[in-house]
Each structure stands twice: as structure tokens, then as C-alpha cells.
């Protein structure tokens, strides 16, 4: 058996191959069936001629519709008209699983494609996105490994709320209430006292009620935390990691990028250092561009778009006002109204892919901010303990994997960066 990608080559011309796959397109004229076969690696045209295969097999070839699974044997031949320039001339057509009339045809509504997600994920675009995503994550894992980080497994069921409490998913946990994790951050912080440099890849959950093209209720989060690291060094880690992830896609996914109409040359530029822009400068820039914002305004999708649309590499926005960010960030001694933090925005209008900061080490400040937030300190005693036994300066960040996929694949909507998007309106299929 050969992979379709490998069958599409001069080396195989004149040789007999066996391929296994699913019918992607098919038409017949007279005594010949032209079927395009798809496997996980690509598509190839198969011609089945009456007389070249047993009659019963030819009969099967004429009735096998889109998505029927088949095993084909035949000789590879060059044919300029065929997709990829080669075809297989079948000597055997084995029907394995006949498909009923496939419910997805060429032009379908977004809603129908979401209802039929379990079938739509077979599409070539979805397949390409899945491969790019895997290459991004692999590139990230390798970068972490090469730089001395240890992968760890924080819990998903938790009692803490690192981010916005209005987006917590609550669950019944035996006889008490627990939450689905919004971020592994606090647990990663606890692990730096032994491992120093850690990262985790986990699902994170946010009950985001607004429907936006960049929010999921369940997303994959790549987070890291390191001891002895300040916010500037934290940004260096981010730019090193992001460029390694993107370069791995360029190296491994040229076919997929072509299919997604993403020019690999535009991704090759993602090399450190990335620009840094203070929150204050971002405000000035936005005002010049006609946005109605002032110091203290949050940056939403619209503002981030203006900040990045004319850029071709990512940019850090640094030192946000405290009221815009969570309680755990380190106060900026140079401007106490702000934190030592950064968001990394992807270029070309895509916006935030990472949120990171140096962490507050002063328990009094943390307690004060938790109280302001209305949090019960009971759930945070363990977190406060971390500052009592050998506290160290430390920093970390969280990267939204579907966000980086959306940007790298140039997707219009984040739902296409994950096989089964979970949004306010959908848990099926
Ligand atoms: O809320 S974040 O900005 N930051 C944190 O959760 C920190 N506690 C992470 C850390 O320092 N360990 O989220 C981090 C990233 C953000 O930049 C997005 O890329 C992504 O997580 N994110 C999301 N992606 C998809 N959907 C939703 N709803 C979402 N929320 C955050």
C-alpha cells in the first residue's frame, strides 16, 4: 500500500500500486469511471475502465458515490489533466464501505456545516488546518524541550479563578462547587519552585457569552511559567517560541499552506525580535487613526485590528492599566498605574494570541486585590503560601492555540481552528 502523496510521482509511473481511501469526486462516461480518491495525504485520480476490472467491480465503481471507502490497485501513469499530474489506471476496485448520498454538497450554510461537523471535518481545508495545528504544537513542544522546560499536567477541575469571574464554568463536584480551569497559571506557578521552567498544554474553558470570531468556550492553552524571569525576558521567551512554532509549519506544511492560500514567505518573516509598543503609545496611535479611546480604554478586536493590520510581524503591547488586567500581575515601579505585562498581537489584523506578565510577589497586594474582586480568600491560601516559602521573581504567559492557528491559516473564524468548536450556541456534535 502507498500513500497517495507518494503515488503522485514519476518514480511510480508504470508501477503497480495499492491505495486505500475515500471517494472525493466521481463521474462516469460510457465505459469509464473517473474517481478522485482521497486519503490523509492527498488526492489522486483513478480511472476504472470496463474490461480492465472484473464486471462486478466495474458495477461497484459506477455506483460508489462520494465518501465510499475503497481499495484500488493499478498502474500509475502520467496525465496532465489529472489533479497532481498523475493517475492510477485501476486493475482492481474493491468497495469496502458504500456511502449513502453525502449530505454535504458544494454550497452549504455555515449552520449546516456545523450541524454536520463530524462529516465536514473530512474536508481538505479542515484536514490542512489540523495538520498545521499539529505542526505548531510540535514546534512549540520542541522549543520548550530545547530550552530546558518541563511539561507538566495541571488540573482541569479547580477552585480558583485566574481570569474574569463572569466567564467561569461552574460544575457540581460531588457535594460542592468547582470550576473548569480558565488557565493553569496558578498551578504552574506552584511548580516553578522545584522545576523552575515549566509548561503545559491543556484545555481552558471560558463561558464567553458574546459571539465573536475569536472566542471559544473551550480552547487549547499553551502556558509557561519560569522562575527568575522578569517581564522583558518573558517577552523574549514568547518571541522565541512563536517563531519556532511558525517556522516548523513553514518547514513541514508547505502543501497545507498552499491549500489554505497562505504564502509561506509571509510566515518566514516571523523572526525575533518583535516590536514592542507601550500601551500609552498604542492609545496615541489609535486616537490618530480616529478611534474614540482614552487612557484606560480596553483593546478589543477592533482596536487590535487597527494596531496590527499594516504590520507583517507580531507586536507586543506592554504595560496595560491595572484596571484592565487580573489581580496577579506585578505592579510596574516606573508607572504604578500599570502592570509589568504584555499582550502579543498577531499581524495582519488578527490581534491577541498571548497574554503574559511578571507575577506579583507581595501577598498584601494580592490579598487586597482579591478582596476588591470579591473572591473568598479560602480558595487562595495555597496560592498565597507560594509567596511565603522562598518567593522568587517569576513570569509566564498563555498562548491560545486556536488563536495562533487562526492567524497562521488566515481563517475568518476561530471555530475552524478546532474540530468541534464549543460556543454559546453549540455542544452538538
Ligand atoms: O486570559 S489570557 O489573556 N491570560 C491568561 O489566561 C493567563 N492566566 C495565562 C498565563 O499567564 N498563564 O488568555 C491567554 C490567551 C489569550 O491571549 C488568547 O490567545 C487565549 O488565551 N484565549 C482564548 N482563545 C480562544 N477563546 C477564548 N475564549 C480565549 N480566551 C483566551
Domains of the chain: which residue ranges?
A: 4-97, 117-417
Strands laid side by side in the 218-227 sheet = 150-151, 197-205, 218-227, 394-400, 351-358, 341-346, 315-318, 275-278
Nine-digit cell at 38?
Answer: 482521497
Answer whether 262 contacts ligand 1 (Cβ < 6 A).
no
- Using one digit for the tens of pLDDT, what is the confidence trace for 264-313? 999 999 999 999 999 999 999 999 999 999 999 999 999 999 999 999 99
Residue minimizing CA distance to atom 5 of ligand 1: 398
Q: Ligand 1 pocket check: which of 354, 398, 408 to mutate, most ligand atoms within 8 Å of Cβ? A: 398
Fold of 117-417: BirA Bifunctional Protein; domain 2 (3.30.930)
CA of residue 300 relative to chain centroid, distance = 20
Answer whether 304 contacts ligand 1 (Cβ < 6 A).
no
Q: Ligand 1 pocket check: which of 181, 201, 400, 426 to mutate, most ligand atoms within 8 Å of Cβ? A: 400
Query: Does 2.40.50.140 match the CATH number of domain 4-97?
Result: yes
CA–centroid distance, residue 293 to ligand 1 (Å): 23
Ligand 1 atom nearest to CA at 343: 17
- Using one digit for the tens of pLDDT, what is the confidence trace for 311-347? 999 999 999 999 999 999 999 999 999 999 999 999 9
Distance CA 387, CA 407 (A): 37
- Using one digit for the tens of pLDDT, what is the confidence trace for 47-103? 999 999 999 999 999 999 999 999 999 999 999 999 899 999 999 999 999 999 999
From residue 89, alpha-carbon distances to 28, 29, 33, 285 in Å are 14, 15, 10, 61
- Using one digit for the tens of pLDDT, what is the confidence trace for 17-41? 999 999 999 999 989 999 999 999 9
Amino acid at each position: 500500500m502507498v500513500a497517495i502523496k507518494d503515488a503522485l510521482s514519476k518514480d511510480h509511473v508504470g508501477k503497480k500500486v495499492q491505495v486505500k481511501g475515500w471517494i472525493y469526486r466521481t463521474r462516469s462516461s460510457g465505459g469509464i469511471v473517473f474517481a478522485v480518491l482521497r486519503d490523509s495525504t492527498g488526492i489522486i485520480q483513478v480511472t476504472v475502465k470496463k474490461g480492465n476490472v472484473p464486471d462486478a467491480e466495474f458495477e461497484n465503481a459506477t455506483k460508489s458515490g462520494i465518501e465510499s471507502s475503497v481499495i484500488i490497485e493499478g498502474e500509475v501513469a502520467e496525465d496532465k489533466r489529472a489533479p497532481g499530474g498523475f493517475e492510477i489506471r485501476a486493475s482492481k476496485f474493491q468497495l469496502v464501505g458504500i456511502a449513502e448520498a453525502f449530505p454535504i454538497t458544494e454550497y452549504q450554510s455555515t449552520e449546516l456545516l456545523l450541524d454536520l461537523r463530524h462529516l465536514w471535518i473530512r474536508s481538505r481545508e479542515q484536514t490542512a488546518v489540523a495538520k498545521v495545528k499539529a505542526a505548531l504544537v510540535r514546534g512549540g513542544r520542541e522549543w520548550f524541550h530545547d530550552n530546558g522546560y518541563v511539561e507538566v499536567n495541571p488540573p482541569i477541575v479547580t477552585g480558583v479563578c485566574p481570569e474574569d469571574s463572569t466567564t467561569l464554568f461552574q460544575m457540581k463536584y460531588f457535594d460542592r462547587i468547582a470550576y473548569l480551569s480558565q488557565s493553569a497559571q496558578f498551578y504552574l506557578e506552584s511548580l516553578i519552585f522545584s522545576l523552575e521552567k515549566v509548561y503545559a498544554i491543556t484545555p481552558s474553558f471560558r463561558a464567553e457569552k458574546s459571539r465573536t470570531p475569536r472566542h471559544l468556550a473551550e480552547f487549547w492553552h499553551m502556558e509557561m511559567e519560569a522562575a527568575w524571569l522578569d517581564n522583558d525576558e518573558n517577552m523574549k521567551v514568547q518571541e522565541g517560541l512563536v517563531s519556532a512554532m511558525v517556522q516548523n509549519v513553514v518547514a513541514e506544511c508547505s502543501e497545507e499552506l498552499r491549500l489554505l492560500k497562505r504564502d509561506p514567505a509571509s510566515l518566514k518573516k516571523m523572526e525575533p525580535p518583535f516590536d514592542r509598543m507601550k500601551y500609552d503609545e498604542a492609545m496615541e496611535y489609535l486616537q490618530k487613526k480616529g478611534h474614540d479611546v482614552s487612557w484606560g480604554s480596553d483593546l478589543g478586536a477592533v482596536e487590535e485590528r487597527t494596531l496590527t493590520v499594516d504590520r507583517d510581524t507580531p507586536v507586543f503591547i506592554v504595560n496595560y492599566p491595572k484596571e484592565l488586567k487580573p489581580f496577579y500581575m506585578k505592579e510596574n515601579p516606573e508607572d504604578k498605574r500599570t502592570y509589568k505585562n504584555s499582550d502579543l498581537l498577531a499581524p495582519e489584523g488578527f490581534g491577541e494570541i498571548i497574554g503574559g506578565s511578571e507575577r506579583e510577589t507581595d501577598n498584601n497586594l494580592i490579598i487586597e486585590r482579591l478582596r476588591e474582586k470579591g473572591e473568598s480568600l479560602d480558595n487562595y491560601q495555597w496560592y498565597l503560601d507560594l509567596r511565603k516559602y522562598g518567593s522568587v521573581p517569576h513570569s509566564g504567559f498563555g498562548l491560545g492555540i486556536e488563536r495562533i492557528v487562526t492567524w497562521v491559516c488566515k481563517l475568518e473564524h476561530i471555530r475552524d481552528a478546532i474540530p468541534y468548536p464549543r460556543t454559546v450556541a453549540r455542544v452538538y456534535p
